[in-house]
Chains A and B, each alone.
Chain A
């Protein structure tokens, strides 16, 4: 009996400790995870936590005082500029370490190290795009500039000072959840972060899709479905602007007609991990003539995937050289969107296509040589070693051509043959130091300083808005944009011939820009920057409707206040529906509709065109229009393995406005010839089925339908750390661009009065710790369209005392 008791006891005990201590039985090692002294309980930050601290580091040259206000925004007062970056690095790490490392691991294609085999394809994709190669090139440029390298060195030292102070029990929750440890921060990681943003904002293209569409549809139909300029375009730079004659006029190569426009084959593999084409932003500036205070007001809201921890971290940096406030990227020194004593600055994405594919001909499967300008040229090869959690390292050889990395070859996309492959030419691979722009913008005092600063910025191309206390407003579309002959880069180009290569970039001075325009305002919302009179070919992925809504409003507004600008950022008016609804209502055959279908129709009919949270009509309208879009195009564009792009929504709307017998209306799979009446009616009937099931689940209201959600970076794997079901309006093509998991990631309004009158909010919180009350405390405020007054501290001595906590940093 006693043997039995002992054996049972021993067995139970060992099994218990084994099960709770490893990940092989339970998905989590609950023993260490829930251990009170080691596990997640240590991350439960008391709601009255004390952030006061006194810290000493050898690396510091002088004193730095950090005042934390009641929203946990640090106001950093440094005696030496580089000390400010050291402390910024320390604070980023203190509040956001896991995110910084995870995002840069993702950039570098190292996610498999953390989550295992399921991320191999993602990692290979990143490496084959040349993300690390791009970051290395960027770092080389940073190291060549003394100002940048000293800033980034200080920043990296600050991050590492924090990492070295960590005990196992202090690690952010995600490390405990996934079971790994942070590694040292490096300058390369900061460079990787800039490339991650570049991928997000300038990593979208439709070269393969367009190549297939051209072959499938012929050129005439291709131009109808994928026009380069919408009729309703409201360009960034006002219509009618007269541009200089182009400094360079390029003609297509002689062989273009046969080798480029008339390809004989299609591309039969699908690209994964494309960035969200909704990545974009709004920004505008109004001059003093239009404001109540007589001073300019600048507004900016960048639209990105909404995540927890947020992509942004609010901070004030005060050094002898400058005093800047705004949001920063955990991973980079400096203020990225914000203002200083004299100027304010913001960004929207240019959306220009700076990424092309060239079809490469390898000599054979070993990828050592490729055919270029009539001979076999050697490739260079980069061996990528992808370490994988709980599995053997995977090796992947990427060949580099004269264009750039050969991203797609048979080893990655098995549908390809051994010889045929696609090389990527991307501005992101160029050697450039974009960080320098922010270091200079933070201290810029006027328009010419701004001009000098933005010259350092090459990618991702941005519309950079500017306003100053001295009364100037300006906007430049800034970046390196390839000089192209007409239609160059819309389709995959032959990679066997140097005549198809880019011939340099559009000269900086020729980039679209405006300075103190007579209209008294400037804006950009990811639309095409210029109309047809701009003398350079500028393909891209552009938005149409937000720009119209913003320009209409700004044109009519006067005596503008900062509050008016806040309301404008939260405006839910649907310009697209204003034009699209009449078509739906005109062509719906009411006699053929059931009572339920009629009900949805009348909701759309009586709608005030606002995508407000509690309206049901936006859901009905969206479902109906999407259904019409599918009815019209799905028969013509059968995807299968051949990637094709969905025509944009302006394409269908403008086509139907021009011609109700638009040729794509007919369903080519039926013997009958369908007309618009039938299409609109069938579309409503199909949409009504979906709407009825939504209504049953009580999800017809717009906010419930779109279910705005701020996901944790681990997405659906960590829903306990997400915020779901926010009640807010807005949507795609609406100024308030809040979609399901995407939208205004920071809203800022800055009035250039003295003292500066600034407001801001982002859907997150300063702390990345899900166990902190500062993790998501801004979200409800953001969802309601409310703002925080930004406290731009002038003096540490007087205002510092009003702050809740103080962290003192000094050298040893």
Chain B
């Protein structure tokens, strides 16, 4: 349950930050949940990862489907020399997921340093 709540909160924060600030501010989404939701650092990572992975992945998927994957195919060709829309959606989701996941585990493991 804590895992799911943490994932949802990270995703919501990441979405809100993305509306007004550059992409890398999703770091703060991960850090905030990492700090305030007590979990094992591994679970912190996973929940933040899952939240933003799903957020970015689903948003990209939704955008790409309504675009008939026109752009995703071209960007996939540009970035990985392979015209696969789902591959570029996956890469997008991984970037979001890993950025926030690593931020959450960094925050949580930092907190762990001060715990007895």
Q: Are A36 and B77 in contact (CB under 8 A)?
A: no
Question: Please, what's the 1-or-0 string for B73-108, where 1 marks a CB less than 8 Å from any CB in chain A?
Answer: 011011100000000100110011011001101100
**Contact yes or no, B78 A13, CB < 8 A:** no
Min distance, Cβ A620 to any Cβ of chain B, angstroms:
33
The reply to whether B113 and A41 contact each other, CB–CB distance below 8 Å, is no
Closest to A5 in B: B109
User: In the bound complex, what is the Cα–Cα distance between A31 and B63 (angstroms)?
Assistant: 17
Asked if B36 CB lies within 8 Å of chain A CBs, one says: no
Q: A40-B75, A771-B71 are in contact. Are A34 and B109 (CB under 8 A)?
A: no
A20 to B103, CA, bound (A): 14
CB neighbours of A276 from chain B (8 A): none
Docked Cα-Cα span, A773 to B69, in Å, equals: 10
Q: Which residues of A contact B106 (CB under 8 A)?
A: 6, 9-10, 13
Contact of B92 among A5, A34, A48 (CB under 8 A): A34
| Chain A, range 3-26, C-beta contacts under 8 Å to B | 3, 5-6, 9-10, 12-13, 16-17, 20-21
Query: With A and B bound together, what is the CA distance between A48 and B78 in angstroms?
Result: 25
Does A35 have its Cβ within 8 Å of any Cβ on chain B?
Answer: yes
| Complex: A13 Cα to B26 Cα, angstroms | 12
Looking at the complex, which one of B41, B45, B67 makes contact with A46 (CB distance below 8 Å)?
Answer: B67
How distant is A474 from chain B, measured CB to nearest CB, in Å?
45
Number of interface residues of A (CB under 8 A): 40
**Measured between alpha carbons, how far is A30 from B80 in the docked complex, in Å?**
11
Q: Do B99 and A770 have beta carbons less than 8 Å apart?
A: no
A45: CB under 8 A from chain B? yes
Q: Which residue of B lies closest to A3 (CB)?
A: B113
A9 proximity list for chain B (CB < 8 A): 41, 45, 102, 105-106, 109
- Residues of A with C-beta under 8 A to B55: 36
Is residue A80 within 8 Å, beta carbon to beta carbon, of the partner chain? no
Pick from B19, B68, B110: contact of A6, CB below 8 A.
B110
Task: Given A5-B109, A720-B77, verify A37-B71 contact (CB < 8 Å).
Answer: no
Interface residues of B in 32-75 (CB under 8 A from A): 41, 45, 55-56, 59-60, 63-64, 66-68, 70-72, 74-75
Known: A6-B113, A32-B23, A45-B67. A37 touches B18 (CB 8 A): yes
B18 touches A6 (CB 8 A): no
Please report whether the interface of chain A is mostly helix, strand, loop or mixed according to DSSP: helix
**Contacts A17-B27, A36-B96, A37-B23 given; does A44 touch B71 at CB 8 Å:** yes
* Residue A668 at the chain B interface, CB threshold 8 Å: no
User: Given contacts A9-B41, A34-B92, are A2 and B109 in contact (CB under 8 A)?
Assistant: yes
Known contacts A41-B92, A771-B74, A6 near B63 by CB under 8 Å: no
The residues of A that contact B67 with a CB separation of less than 8 Å are 44-47, 771
Q: Which residue among A10, A41, A720, A771 has the maximum number of chain B CB atoms within 10 Å of its CB?
A: A41
Q: How far is the CA of A30 from the CA of B56 in the complex (A)?
A: 14
Q: Which B residue sits closest to A43, measured CB to CB?
A: B71
Q: Which of B68, B95, B102 touches A30 (beta carbons < 8 Å)?
A: B95
Chain A contacts for B103, CB-based, 8 A = 13
Q: Which of A20, A40, A772, A773 has the most CB of B within 10 A?
A: A40
* Interface contact tally, CB-CB below 8 A: 126
Which residues of chain A come closer than 8 Å to B24, judged between CB atoms? 17, 20-21, 31-32
Most chain A CB atoms below 10 A, which of B64, B66, B70, B113:
B70
Bound together, the chains give a CA A383 to CA B73 distance in angstroms of 45
B71 adjacent to A16 (CB under 8 Å): no
A501 to nearest B CB, angstroms? 52
Bound form: Cα–Cα A12–B102 in Å: 7
**For B41, what are the chain A residues with a Cβ–Cβ distance below 8 Å?**
5, 9
Q: Which of A41-89 contact B (CB under 8 A)?
A: 41, 43-48
Given known pairs A5-B41, A16-B98, A38-B23, the reply for A770 and B74 (CB within 8 Å) is: yes
The answer to whether the Cβ of A557 comes within 8 Å of any Cβ in the partner chain is no
Q: Are A38 and B109 in contact (CB under 8 A)?
A: no
A28 within 8 A of B: yes
Q: Is the CB of B79 within 8 A of A35?
A: no
Q: Which of A34, A47, A721 has the most CB of B within 10 A?
A: A34
A250 at the interface (CB under 8 A from B): no
**B19 surroundings in chain A (CB, below 8 A):** 37
In the complex, what residue of chain B is closest to A39 when comparing beta carbons? B23
Contact A720 B96 (CB under 8 A): no
For residue A587, give the distance in angstroms from its CB to the closest CB of chain B: 47
Question: B23, A35: Cβ atoms under 8 Å?
Answer: yes
B96 to chain A, nearest CB (A): 7
Contact indicator A20/B74 (Cβ below 8 Å): no
C-alpha gap A28/B92 in the complex (Å): 13
Chain A contacts of B88 at CB under 8 A?
Answer: 34
Q: How far is the CA of A40 from the CA of B85 in the complex (A)?
A: 13
* Choice from B72, B99, B109 contacting A31 with Cβ under 8 Å: B99
Within 8 A of B (CB), among A176-226: 177
Given contacts A9-B109, A771-B70, contact A38 B22 (CB under 8 A): yes
Least CB distance, B66 to chain A, in whole angstroms? 4
- The answer on a CB contact under 8 Å between A31 and B79 is no
Quick check: is A596 within 8 A (CB to CB) of the other chain? no
Counting CB contacts under 8 A, is A718 at the interface?
yes
Shortest Cβ gap from A710 to chain B (Å): 14
B22 contacts A44, CB within 8 Å?
A: no
- Taken residue by residue from 389 to 412, chain A's Cβ proximity to chain B (1 for < 8 Å, 0 otherwise) reads as 000000000000000000000000
Chain A's closest residue to B27 (CB) is A17
**Bound complex: CA of A32 vs CA of B95, how far in Å?**
10
Find out whether the CB atom of A38 lies under 8 angstroms from the CB atom of B113: no
Q: Which of B56, B70, B102, B110 is close to A36, meaning CB atoms less than 8 Å apart?
A: B56
A36 touches B112 (CB 8 A): no
Q: Is the CB of B68 within 8 A of A17?
A: no
In the assembled complex, the Cα of A13 lies from the Cα of B45 at a distance in Å of 11
Annotate A722-746 by CB proximity to B: 1 below 8 A, 0 otherwise: 0000000000000000000000000
On whether the beta carbons of B18 and A2 are closer than 8 Å, the reply is: no
With A and B bound together, what is the CA distance between A21 and B95 in angstroms?
A: 11
Instruction: Tell me whether B68 and A773 are in contact (CB under 8 A).
Output: yes
Q: Are B79 and A2 within 8 A (Cβ)?
A: no
Query: In the complex, what distance in Å separates the CA atom of A43 from the CA atom of B75?
Result: 11
Q: Name A13's closest neighbour in chain B (CB-CB).
A: B102
User: Please, which residues of chain A bring their CB within 8 A of the CB of B68?
Assistant: 47, 773
Known contacts A9-B105, A41-B59; decide if A770 and B71 are in contact (CB<8 Å): yes
- Contact between B102 and A44, CB atoms less than 8 A apart: no
**Given contact pairs A37-B18, A771-B67, A720 touches B23 in the complex (Cβ within 8 A):** no
**Are A41 and B60 in contact (CB-based, < 8 A)?**
yes
Q: Shortest beta-carbon distance, A673 to chain B, in Å?
A: 54
What residue in chain B is nearest A30 (Cβ atoms)? B95
Nearest Cβ distance between residue A11 and chain B, in whole angstroms?
9
Residues of B within 8 A of A45 (CB): 67, 71
Nearest chain-A residue to B19 (Cβ)? A37
Contacts A16-B102, A20-B99, A720-B75: A41 and B63 contacting too (C-beta < 8 A)?
yes
Closest residue of A by beta carbon distance from B18: A37
B26 → A minimal CB distance (Å): 9
Across the A-B interface, the 7 shortest Cβ-Cβ residue pairs? A771-B71, A35-B23, A37-B18, A720-B77, A13-B102, A44-B67, A6-B109
Q: List 30 A-B contacts (CB under 8 A).
A: A2-B112, A5-B105, A9-B105, A9-B106, A10-B106, A17-B24, A31-B99, A32-B23, A32-B24, A34-B79, A34-B95, A35-B18, A35-B22, A35-B56, A35-B92, A35-B95, A36-B55, A36-B56, A36-B59, A37-B15, A37-B59, A41-B63, A43-B71, A44-B64, A44-B67, A44-B70, A45-B67, A719-B77, A720-B77, A770-B71
List 11 other contacts, CB 8 Å, given A34-B95, A37-B23, A44-B70: A5-B105, A6-B112, A6-B113, A9-B105, A10-B110, A17-B99, A36-B18, A36-B56, A41-B92, A44-B64, A773-B68
